[in-house]
């Protein structure tokens, strides 16, 4: 959805290999709750509107707040990703609409690529956390709740192998 914003981080001589996002299921609960709030608001529409313009204002504010919450969650999810290129990995952490941090490492500085799954839902739905440990002290790149984390780990290991053959 916001792939252009993610690809702005590419350097001139780099190629995108993959963009890895969190598993989309994590949006289910916020979207479900917001949808319930909107539906409840419509059930309460008649009593609210009987209050006059105050009731209409409350009705509209609830709709606007729930919609804004949904949009915020979707935007943050879309911009929070691993960008894997032919030279490096970028960890793009979007924590708010106006709060972003970018951490990067080249493949030659990677010491370990691992993933873990915790819990029955993670096992059944095949999602987990991918952690890339680097040579710098206590520095690691982490993307939580990735779908098929073993495949992401294999892809990163393969990219690291191709990069080291070029050197």
CA distance readout (Å), 16 to 42, 77, 129, 159: 45, 19, 22, 11
pLDDT digits (tens, 9 = 90+) for 49-79: 888 999 999 999 999 999 999 999 999 999 9
- DSSP letter at 13 equals T
3-46 residue pLDDT tens:
888 888 888 888 888 999 999 888 999 999 999 999 999 999 88
SS3 86: coil
- The pTM of this model reads 0.82
How high is the pLDDT of residue 137? Answer: 66
Rounded CA gap, 129 and 58, in Å?
Answer: 40
User: How far apart, in whole angstroms, are the C-alpha atoms of residue 143 and residue 158?
Assistant: 18
Q: Which 3 state secondary structure label does DSSP give 112?
A: strand
């Amino acid at each position: 959805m916001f792939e252009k914003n993610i690809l702005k981080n590419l350097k001139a001589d780099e190629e995108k290999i993959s963009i890895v996002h969190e598993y989309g299921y994590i949006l289910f609960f916020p979207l479900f709750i917001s949808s319930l709030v909107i539906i409840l608001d419509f059930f309460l529409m008649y009593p609210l509107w009987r209050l006059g313009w105050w009731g209409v204002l409350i009705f509209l504010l609830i709709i606007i707040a729930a919609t804004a919450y949904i949009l915020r969650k979707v935007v943050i999810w879309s911009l929070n990703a691993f960008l894997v290129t032919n030279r490096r990995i970028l960890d793009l952490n979007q924590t708010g609409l106006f709060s972003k941090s970018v951490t990067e490492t080249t493949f030659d500085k990677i010491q370990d690529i691992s993933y873990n799954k915790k819990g029955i839902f993670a096992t059944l739905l095949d999602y987990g956390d991918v952690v890339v440990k680097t040579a710098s002290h206590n520095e690691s790149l982490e993307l939580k709740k990735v779908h098929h984390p073993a495949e992401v780990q294999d892809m990163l290991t393969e990219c690291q192998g191709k990069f080291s053959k070029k050197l």
